[in-house]
Amino acid sequence: MISIFLRELRENLKWAAVIFGVLLVMVLHELRDPPTMLLFDLPQRYTLWLGPIAGLLMGVVQVLFETRPDNWGFVVHRPVPRAGIFLAKCAAGLLLLYAALALPCLVAVISAARPGRLAIPFQGRMVFPMLADVLNAGCYYFAGMVLTLRKARWLGTRLLPLGVPLASSAIAIMFIAPFWQALLVILIVQAIGAAAAWGVFADNGAAERRVATRFALGAMVYAGAIGMAIGLVGFSQGFTPGGRWQYYQVDRDGNVVLITQTIQHGERGWAFTDPAGRPLPQYDRVDLDDPAYANQFLRFNARLVDRESIPWPITVLYTSAGYRSPMPGLIPLRAVAPAGVRLRFSAVYDIPQRAIDLFDPVTRMPIGLVGPAGFSPPDQPPIERFAGTPLLPFLQGGSHVLAFDSIVYWIELDHRRVRPVFVPQPDDPVFSAAEVGPAIDSKILIATTHRLHLLERSGQLVWSAPLDQDPMRCNFDAALLPANRHLVLRTFSNPGTKPYCNVVSEYSVDGMLLHQVELPRLTDFRSPKKIETMAFGAIFPVAARAICPSWILDEVLDVKTEEFSNFFDEFMWSSAILCAILTLLIARRCGMGWSKTIAWSSANLLLGPAGVATMLALYDWPARERCVACGRSRLAARRDCSHCGAPLASAPQDGREIFEPAEAFGLHGAALPVA
Amino acid sequence: MSDYAIQTHHLTRYFGAKRVVFDLNLGVPCGSIFGFLGRNGSGKTTTLRMVLGLLSPTWGSSSILGHDSQSLPPHIRARIGYLAEGHPVHGWMRVRDAQAYQKRLYPRWNDDLFRSVLEFFRVDPKTRARNMSRGERAGLCLAMTLAPEPDLLILDDPAIGLDPVARRSLLESMVYATRRADRTIIFSSHLLADIERMADHIAVLDYSILRAQCSLETFRSCVQQFVLRFEGPPPELPPIRGVIQCVPRQSEIRLTLVNVTGQTRALLENLGAVRIDEIPISLEDSFVSYLGGTLENVRLPETPKVAELAGGVA
Amino acid sequence: MPVDISIATGSSVPIYRQIADQVCRAVATGLLVAGEQVPSVRALAEQLVLNPNTVARTYADLIRDGVLEARKGKGVFVAKRRVVYTKAERLRRLDSSLAAFVNEGIKLGFTPEELCEAVERKLREFEAAAEKGATSP
């Protein structure tokens, strides 16, 4: 086995060297003038796609020799168990792949860890994105092996096993927050890929014998089929004629306007009505593309959200809470001084240290720390640290308000300090705070569990009012009316919570609730959306429906299952039943045993059309011919006819056969002296 | 230990609807040189792959050196040398690399044999396999296959693409390999001269069906050629069992027959020929007629109804 | 071995027959004398590039016919000429050879006179070769 391992190593070294070289060049190029978030940018720009390509390349290249049956026979006919040959091959391939990808990344990490290279502190978790990408390449490695070795008739089915690593990459990258979970997903996918690759290697392209490997292969093909189906439906959506979008806006007087935007002949057009649908004549000539109308409506730049209420996967997708984002460890601060004031340092909130790190942007050396008690030089520990992690890191960057659940500060790094402005009641903690109003004259809006507070920058309370809606079910944004400094608050129900609510409230300068408008839900019952929903229903597996909540489909994938729920469900179930029947017919026609047929039919009831495609791709479907004994159609490759039981007749003897009983051997030459 | 190096029982293989090997019952005696014949696409390579456990049969079974083909333990594989069609070897290997690679894998290794075979084929030790000529590469592969001293040698069309000098070296290596009396060699070939020189026993596959399995001498003696001379143009022949070639001329018919019995002779005599002569036929012509054969102006005997066969088979 | 044996594939004469014929001819013309050693089975097989079994079978036939003899541990040698067959058997064998020869001749289109001339020519060649073989050391 060592022999085979060494041979594989020697054969594939050149490909690993190519990968290593390409990535090293890219890394060194970045290191000449590294961006601040180097260890997060590198994965995003390079290893995210280089890893998969490298893995695919290594996987394909390592089994290219074995695609020809005679070459495969040469490799496999060795006095080593076939599993040992495969193990040696994979060990060599993965070793080369990981080394080729990891070494340049190591160069980047070592460089970033040196003080003076990046204007941020070095944290251990910074290696996670690159580590994930390096390991992810292994998933593509096995997929590459599977798609090269597997005997497939069309290019489409040959590429299907790529579905699993693509899906796992997407999941591990976009949808998973903790690193260990991403690692787990990657390792599970590699195990599935390895099982499938082993099955395909052991039988040279036909996963005939082993059930476990056939299952793994099936999983890979199924993921690819589902991905392809979703892709097709999504792609066809691009061809829906005529776009129309509706949304609400609030004008500078506090009135709600319903805007209907249409695209016709490449031109955008708007219609402005009130929420009830009555047209508003003052907007007749308004063209929102014209910069003169840029400030027609209010900008709601103050967002108030309770972090606990954000559902997954919104946490990872939109609030940078995953391991691939620097924010779980570092929050870059941009708004640190009054507008127009220039500072000689850059600032970062260091979450493990619970302090603000200041860096010289030129030398990139740390200048010092700012805590609640003020500035400390870099070699001394701070006098006091902050209470914990700031609320809502993803909204912190552009805000002067630094909020914790027990205290709110105003950032004044031109004075190298943060000034406390608000301390809530102990039973009513802060869940969100934001800067509201124009940048020059902004105020602080603080939301606690039951109340809303508006403060001046100095900390003086302007007003405090009760908060009607439950922050666990809703999120808010706010703006100040320029004319009379009234606060306009918009309330939205969180994705996935019912009932739907969309409320616009206006508060006076004393904090009195002047009026509240409940806006009706905007639904789109046009036929393209209907058709898209039906199509999606047709391909959607029943099993997924049980697991996946509707709002993910609606919000994330933009399929209107809520509005057209009866259509979606009808199509889904009809498709499922059709698939089950089709499976039954195909399986019986191809002579599958009853237990297997029932298993597959039930599976495809739950798995949908992609399941049928998987089943077709997994088996060699035998041909049929006429049985000469009973005349009915029978399977070509079976010994006995399933109808009449007649065995396939031996070839007729026509007198031209020459057979000799084996006892009539020739001489072995043993009777003579053989020198 | 049985007397057979390889035995198959009703070995059958379909690829989709195509029947490539059908109901094969083959027995390769130990210690013999076994020639495997058949036209291109008759199923020889598929049979050898199934016997080696590289392909699983649709139905039937086979055993090699007493073990079931589909579950060969590694120590048995160490005793089987297999040279696949096309002389596969890793392109980057030089002689030294191939030697090191092979030596580490096998329990037995005969360096002298390795070098001798390389000398037979005049292999340059410095070239890589992908840059070698066909003959040199064949020599390298053969050396790699023979040096581990296998008990059973399986050569799938080893002479393909070789020039006459390399072919001669191949045969010399095969004779050299028989120095061990219990070594069995199976080789498939289209070169009838090589079969005539080397084979003790032969098997003939005719598009998935085994038509002959016997010693070379038996084959030679079973195929006979007759010339029937007539006055005037020759008549239509009735169906005669065992005809493989029939060439009518102006006033004679040249018949090649298999398994001539007294009945056949009587039938021939009743045709009204002026004279019937048996003419000697070379082994090469026997093979060609047997495998290819032209059948003009003769009807084959009625093949028995398959239904009768089906009813007769248990 | 002073005699070169060469075999041709693709001939209507089997290989073992070709070797046997050539050995017999060598013995008959005196190129191989009684008591001379012939190559072992393996040596001849490797020289002619043949299956050793074929050579072994040839030698076995020749030993049975009395042309060669095997001495244990030493090898295979040319046997002293012994009369093995009865006169009737010898005549029978001559007759079958003659039948083959005459058939071939007629088939090739020679007249009986031409055939007789050819026989006489051949016999004269044979005698000349035998004399030459007898006088050489």
Query: pLDDT, tens digit, for every residue of B117-131?
Result: 998 888 999 999 999
On whether the CB atoms of residues B138 and B106 are closer than 8 A, the answer is no
What percent of chain B clears pLDDT 90, i.e. is strictly above it?
A: 35
pLDDT digits (tens, 9 = 90+) for A305-319: 888 888 887 887 788
Nearest CA in chain C to A673: C75
Supply the pLDDT for residue C84: 63
H-helix segments, A608-673: 609-618
- Range with the poorest average pLDDT among A293-302, A411-420, A444-453: A293-302
Task: Determine which helix (DSSP H) or strand (DSSP E) holds B166, and give its type and residue range.
Answer: helix B164-177
Tell me which DSSP letter residue A164 carries: H
Name the range with the highest mean pLDDT among A49-53, A203-207, A214-218, A631-635.
A49-53
Q: What is the ipTM of this complex?
A: 0.87
* pLDDT higher than threshold 60 for residue B291: yes
By Cβ distance, the residue of A78, A203, A658 closest to B259 is A658
Average pLDDT (A180-188) is 90
Residue reference for tokens 């639904």? A523
pLDDT digits (tens, 9 = 90+) for A236-281: 766 666 667 788 888 888 888 888 887 777 777 788 888 887 888 8
Average pLDDT (C31-54) is 88
- Residue A184 tokens read as 């787990």
Average pLDDT (A214-240) is 78
* pLDDT higher than threshold 50 for residue B294: no
Tell me which DSSP letter residue A279 carries: B
Average pLDDT (A538-542) is 81
Better-scored residue on pLDDT, B3 or A644: B3
Burial of C25 (0-12, 13-18, 19+ CB in 10 A): middle
Q: Which residues, 6+ apart, have CB-to-CB distance to B11 below 8 Å?
A: B21, B23, B24, B25, B26, B47, B50, B51, B57, B60, B61, B62
80-99 in A: which are within 8 Å (CB) of B?
80-81
Supply the pLDDT for residue B80: 94
Supply the pLDDT for residue B310: 35
Nearest CA in chain B to C13: B282
* pLDDT higher than threshold 90 for residue B89: yes
Q: Going along chain B, which residue ranges are E strands?
A: 4-15, 18-24, 27-29, 33-38, 59-64, 67-68, 80-83, 152-156, 184-188, 201-206, 209-215, 223-229, 243-248, 252-258, 275-279
Supply the pLDDT for residue A517: 87
Average pLDDT of every residue of chain B: 84
Q: pLDDT grade, residue C3 (50/70/90)? A: low
Preceding omega of B107 cis (within 30 degrees of 0): no
74-113 in B: which are within 8 Å (CB) of C?
none
Binary contact (B105, A79; C-beta < 8 A): yes
Average pLDDT (A488-497) is 85
* pLDDT higher than threshold 50 for residue A634: yes
Supply the pLDDT for residue B1: 43
Binary contact (C14, B217; C-beta < 8 A): yes
* pLDDT higher than threshold 70 for residue A91: yes
Q: Among B220, B92, B84, which residue's Cα sits nearest to residue B141?
A: B84
Better-scored residue on pLDDT, A9 or A566: A9
Burial of A262 (0-12, 13-18, 19+ CB in 10 A): middle
Q: Among A371, A380, A391, A381, which residue's Cα sits nearest to residue A434?
A: A391
* pLDDT higher than threshold 60 for residue A599: yes
* pLDDT higher than threshold 90 for residue B187: yes
- Return the C-alpha torsion angle B171, B176, B177, B180, nearest 10: 150
Average pLDDT (B183-203) is 90
Q: Among C118, C121, C96, which residue's Cα sits nearest to residue C109?
A: C118
Average pLDDT (A79-84) is 91
Nearest CA in chain A to B261: A655
Burial of C35 (0-12, 13-18, 19+ CB in 10 A): exposed
* pLDDT higher than threshold 50 for residue B248: yes
Q: Among A131, A221, A126, A132, which residue's Cα sits nearest to residue A185?
A: A132
Supply the pLDDT for residue B306: 37
Better-scored residue on pLDDT, B122 or B242: B122
* pLDDT higher than threshold 50 for residue A128: yes
Supply the pLDDT for residue A205: 67
Name the range with the highest mean pLDDT among A55-64, A109-118, C98-107.
A55-64
CA–CA distance, A456 with A445 (Å, rounded to integer)? 9
Average pLDDT (A95-99) is 95
CA–CA distance, B204 with B40 (Å, rounded to integer)? 12
- Range with the poorest average pLDDT among A240-249, A295-304, A385-394, B19-28: A240-249
Preceding omega of A291 cis (within 30 degrees of 0): no
In this prediction the pTM is: 0.84
442-461 in A: which are within 8 Å (CB) of B?
none
Binary contact (C41, A674; C-beta < 8 A): yes
What percent of chain C clears pLDDT 90, i.e. is strictly above it?
A: 11
* pLDDT higher than threshold 70 for residue B297: no
Binary contact (A669, C53; C-beta < 8 A): yes
* pLDDT higher than threshold 80 for residue A32: yes
On whether the CB atoms of residues C10 and B196 are closer than 8 A, the answer is yes
Supply the pLDDT for residue A672: 35
pLDDT digits (tens, 9 = 90+) for B33-57: 999 988 888 889 999 999 999 998 8
Better-scored residue on pLDDT, B64 or A619: B64
Q: How far is B234 from chain A (nearest CA, A)?
A: 24
Binary contact (A3, B209; C-beta < 8 A): no
Which of chain C's residues have a Cβ under 8 Å away from the Cβ of A666? Answer: 53, 57
Cα three-residue angle B199-B203-B209, rounded to 5 degrees? 165
- Residue A425 tokens read as 């009641």
Which of chain B's residues have a Cβ under 8 Å away from the Cβ of A657? Answer: 211-212, 259
Residue reference for tokens 């399929």? A559
Supply the pLDDT for residue A660: 75
Binary contact (B90, A664; C-beta < 8 A): no
Beta strand A633-635 with A624-626 is: antiparallel
Q: pLDDT grade, residue A670 (50/70/90)? A: very low
Burial of B35 (0-12, 13-18, 19+ CB in 10 A): buried
CA distances from C45 to A665, B57, B119, B145, B198 (A): 19, 38, 19, 22, 10
* pLDDT higher than threshold 60 for residue A665: no
Average pLDDT of every residue of chain A: 83
Structural domain boundaries in chain A: 2-209, 243-293, 302-518, 528-615, 622-675
CA–CA distance, C5 with C14 (Å, rounded to integer)? 14
Supply the pLDDT for residue C137: 47
CA–CA distance, A110 with A118 (Å, rounded to integer)? 12
CA distances from B191 to A348, A657, B78 (A): 82, 22, 29
- The full DSSP string for A561-623 is TTTTHHHHHHHHHHHHHHHHHHHHHHHHHTT--HHHHHHHHHHHHHH-HHHHHHHHHHS-PPP
Which of chain C's residues have a Cβ under 8 Å away from the Cβ of A675? Answer: 40-43, 75
Taking the CA atoms of chain B, what radius of gyration do you get in angstroms? 23
Supply the pLDDT for residue A208: 58
Supply the pLDDT for residue B82: 95
Q: Among C42, A75, A668, which residue's Cα sits nearest to residue B177?
A: C42
Supply the pLDDT for residue B311: 37
Supply the pLDDT for residue A526: 64
pLDDT digits (tens, 9 = 90+) for B12-36: 888 877 888 888 899 999 989 999 9
CA–CA distance, C5 with C114 (Å, rounded to integer)? 30
Q: How far is C53 from chain A (nearest CA, A)?
A: 5
For residues B49-85, b (16+ Cβ closer than 10 Å) or e, as one string? Answer: bbbbbbbebbbbebbbbeeebeebeeebbbbbbbbbb
